[in-house]
Amino acid sequence: MSTSIRYIQGYPDHLVSQVKSLIDSGQLISNFQRRYPKQHNIQSEKALFQYVNDIKQRYMKKSAPLSKAVYDPKIHLVNNALGLHTYVAKVHGNRVVSKNEIRIASMFKNAPEPLLRMLVVHELAHFKEKEHNKAFYSLCCHMEPNYHQLEFDARLFLICEELKRAQ
């Protein structure tokens, strides 16, 4: 298996074959760039926090507050993690203080905005649903109706980035 194809393992064979064909013909990167010609401009952690909080306020007002949203260069893509949601509960006196943090792989600083949005929606859904189950994906699709296509496209983005580095 080609190294870059690992990002889409588990998808149907016909999709994997199409991607392999585009890679072999040298057309994947140009096709991806035609579909997503611009990257987002959310570069600072302050801007990322505001972006995440805006989506949270629109769809999940009553959930626990967001404490932090950062780009994290330590997220290891080989483990299929594109973002992380962490929840920390600490006892302070007679009350429990919880913190929800979202970390996005720093390579998504250069991604198209819809792909960043998909990652944010995915991590926000973990505020309510810890497991990747039907309720989790329903919540993702509620916040981003094109969620499943964008998740696949995020994997194509990773393949394109890997191919660019290899050139």
Q: Report pLDDT digits (tens) over 69-89.
A: 999 888 765 454 555 555 555
Give the pLDDT band of residue 166 (cuts 50, 70, 90).
Answer: confident
**pLDDT value, residue 167:** 82
Q: Please, what is the Cα angle at 64 between 44 and 127, to 5 degrees?
A: 80
CA–CA gap between residue 117 and residue 134 (Å, rounded): 20
Q: Give the CA count within 13 Å in the CB-facing half-sphere of 26.
A: 2
pLDDT, tens digit, for every residue of 86-119? 555 556 567 666 678 888 988 899 999 999 999 9
Instruction: Tell me what the mean pLDDT of segment 47-61 comes to.
Output: 96
Backbone φ, ψ for residue 90 (5° rounding): -125, 145
For residue 84, the model assigns a pLDDT of 53
Phi, psi dihedrals of residue 2, rounded to the nearest 5°? -60, 145
pLDDT of residue 81: 52
Task: Give how far Cα 8 sits from Cα of 1, 5, 17, 55, Å.
Answer: 11, 6, 11, 27
Give yes or no for residue 45 having a pLDDT over 80: yes
